[in-house]
Structure 1
C-alpha cells in the first residue's frame, strides 16, 4: 500500500522511552497448550525470545499465533494495543492486516474456481459488467491467474499518486466506482500509462493493488453478493473465525489496536484509514480470530471440521512460479501467496504494511504449520529483521 502518513495528535514517545515501556508486556495463555507442546517445549525461552523481538523491532504491540495440522495450537499477545491507555495486547485485540487481506481475497477466488464458476485462464471480461483492456495490448486478455500473480499489466502508478483514503473512517466510495474510474477510458483517474503498463498480460511481474481490487469485484459479480458477505458465509463462519471485520466501524474500540507510525524517531499514534479498494487490505482481525484461516491455508485447505478448499486447489495456490521481472526480494509468486528468503531458507508468506501497521503470515505446507505475526507499528529495517526471526522460530522451534 502507498506510504501515506496521517499522524494524529496525542501521545508521542521517543523510541528510548517507548522501549522502556514496552518491557511490561502481556503474554496471554496459550490456546490448546497440550497440543502445542511439540512446538513450544521451551515455553519460557520462547516467551523471552518473543519479548526480546518486541523490543528489537520497537513494536508498540504484537500478537503471534501458530497452527499445525489444521489446529490453532498457540496464540499470544505482547506490548500495548494503546500506549497512552496502557491497554495491553491480548489474543482478542484486532489489528489492521493490510495486504495480508489479499490472501483472503485470493482464496475467495479459488473457492469459485473450485465450484466451476470461474476459469483461472479465461478472460475476466467474461464475468465483468465492464471491459478491462490494456490500451497497449487491446487484443490480449487479462485472466484471473494474471491478476492473482501480479502479471496482469494493470499498473499502480496512478494509485500511488492519488490519495484514495478516508482518514478515521471507512470509505464511502463503492468498489465498482473506484474500479471504473481507474480502468475505463472515461474514468476520472484513468491514464493510458498510469492505469496500465506497457507489458502485455502475463508478460511481466508488477505487484498490483488495483488488480486485487478487481479480483474482489470479480467475486462479487460471479457470486452475486458482496465479497464481505461471501467471505463471512463461506469462509469465516465455517472456520469459526471471530473478531474479523472488513470495516473500521466493525471493530469495537475496546479491541482496536491503535496504529503507531515513526515520525522524527518518535512513536506517534495515527488514525486508521479506510479505502474503497477494500479487497486489497482492509481486513481487521485478532490473532485468535484469524488463525483458523492460517491453519487451513497451511493444512491443505482444512482446519478442524471445515474444508474451505480441496487439497489440490490449496496446493495450486502455494505452487511458486518465477515470472519475468520478479524483484529480487521475492523468490516466487503463487496465487495470492509469495515466497521469499528468510535466514537462508525459502518461505511461503505474505506481508502487510501501512503507516502504523506491519503484519506477516508464513506457511510451511510440508509440516502443515502456519504462523501469523500482527503488529501495530510501521515497518522498519529493525522490525523486518524481527519479523523474520519470529517467523523462523515459530516455524521450526529453537536451534539446537
Structure 2
C-alpha cells in the first residue's frame, strides 16, 4: 500500500514537472522575444504584467531603471504612466455619479464654477460625459497645465480652446478635458484630488501608487528617457517627477488641480497597474472589493463613437492583437510609453511600460509596446 502511494506521488510529481517545463519554456520564449524587441527599438527598460483567468500569472522587468548609475529595473519600481492616468479620474467620477452627487449629463459650467461654452455654439451645453469622452469640442492649443487657459476671466484667448464643430458632434483627444475633470472631483468630494484617488481607489485595492510625488518613495521612481532621433541618443526627463512643492503650498482647492495632472500624473508599477486593470476587467470589483458598480464600469468601457472607439477614458481596439477586441488605454510622455489592455469576457489582460525607446509607430501604437503585447499574448495567454 505504501509502495502504491509512493508510486502515485512520483507520477504526480512528474506531471507537475512536465507542466512546469512547458510553462518555463513559454516564459523563456517570451523573455527572449522581449529582449530582442528591446534591442530592435533601443529600449532602455521594460516592465510587464500578464493577467489570465483573473490571476496575475507573470511579471518581469527588463533592462535599466537608471542608465547613469546602471541600476536594473525591478517589479517594485514605479513609473509616471501618462494618459492611462485618465482612467483613474474617470473611475473617481463614476463613484461620485453612483453616489448621486453628480450626473454625466450635468452642465460642466455648473460643475467647474466658470463658463465652459464653445463660443460658436453658445446654446449647446457641454456635459460631463462629453468631457470624459473627448467630445467636448475642447483642444489643447492654449496648453492644459493651468485652468486659466480656458477661464474667460483669466485668458483673453480663451475662445481658442474650442474647435469649430459643435460639442457632442466631433472628437478630439484633449488633455485639458481631464485636468478640468480632476477639478470637479475636488469640488464635489471636498477632498484634494490626489487624496480622493488614494482614499477611494488605491487604498481599497492595496496599491502602492499616487499622483503626489512627495507621498511616494522617490527611490522607486523609474528615470524616464526622451529619445532624440537626430542624434540617436537619450536624455533623462526629471520634470516627470517634479514635486511642485511651492505650488502645492499655495494650493487652491477646486482650481489648482492640474498641479497633480489628473490627465497623466499617476505613478504606479506595472504589477499594481495590472491589479487595477483586473478591477476594470471584473466591472468594478477587485478581490471582493467593490470600487464601483457594474453598471458604471460598463459605461466607462462602452464606446460612444464607432469611428474612434473611445468610451470614457477607455478605448476599444481590434488591431493591437490582430483579430481580438480589447479594452484599455495607452500613454506617452517624457519618453515613457505605456499600455494597459484587457478582455473583460475572457478575463485576461496585459500591461507593458517602457521608460525609453526609439518610438517608431505603426497603426497608432508604439512598435515596442505592440510587439511586446503580442509576444506575451502568444506565449502566455493564447
Same fold (TM over 0.5): yes
Structure 1 residue ranges without an equivalent (≥5): 1-35, 165-177
Hey, what's the Cα distance between the residues in 1 that align with 2:55 and 2:34?
Answer: 21
2:194 is aligned to 228
Q: Which residue of 2 aligns with 1:298?
A: 281
**Correspondence for 1:16:** none
The alignment partner of 2:328 has SS state of strand
- The correspondence for 1:142, drawn from 126, 143, 164, is 126
Does residue 376 (structure 1) correspond to residue 360 (structure 2)? The answer is: no
State the Cα distance separating 1:204 from its structure 2 match: 0.5
* Structure 1 residue 208 corresponds to structure 2 residue 187: no
| 3-state SS of 1:333 partner | coil
Q: TM-score, normalised by structure 1?
A: 0.78
Q: Give the TM-score taking structure 2 as reference length.
A: 0.82
Aligned: 1:114 with 2:101 = no
- Please say if residues 353 and 369 of structure 2, whose CA atoms lie closer than 8 Å, have aligned partners that are also in contact: no
Equivalent residues in 2 for 1:1-400, closer than 5 Å: 42-159=26-143, 164=145, 178-179=146-147, 181-188=148-155, 190-192=157-159, 194-242=160-208, 244-263=209-228, 264-273=231-240, 274=242, 276=259, 278-322=261-305, 326=307, 330=308, 332-340=309-317, 341-345=319-323, 346-377=325-356, 380-381=359-360, 384-395=366-377, 397=379
1:79-111, Cα deviation, whole Å (9 max, x unpaired): 000012111110111111011111111111111
CA distance in 1, matches of 2:239, 2:347: 34
> Residues 114 and 284 of structure 1: is their aligned pair in 2 closer, same or farther, counting only changes over 3 Å?
same
Give the Cα–Cα distance (whole angstroms) in 1 for the partners of residues 22 and 377 of structure 2: 12
Secondary structure, in 3 states, of the residue corresponding to 1:249?
Answer: helix
Secondary structure of the structure 1 residue equivalent to 2:214: coil
Partner SS for 2:149: helix
Structure 2 unaligned regions, length at least 5: 1-19, 243-257
CA distance in 2, matches of 1:311, 1:236: 18
Q: CA deviation at 1:386?
A: 2.3
Cα RMSD, aligned residues only? 2.6
**Matched residues, number:** 341
Deviation at 1:350, TM superposition (A): 1.0
Higher-helix-fraction structure: 2
Contact map agreement 2:227 2:233 (CA 8 A) in 1: yes
Q: 1:228 to 1:38 in 2, by over 3 A?
A: farther
Aligned equivalents of 1:38, 1:155: Cα separation in 2: 50
* Cα pair 1:369 1:395 within 8 Å, conserved: no
Alignment partners' CA distance in 1, 2:32 and 2:372 = 12
Q: 1:40 to 1:317 in 2, by over 3 A?
A: farther
- State the alpha-carbon separation in 2 of the partners of residues 312 and 384 from structure 1: 32
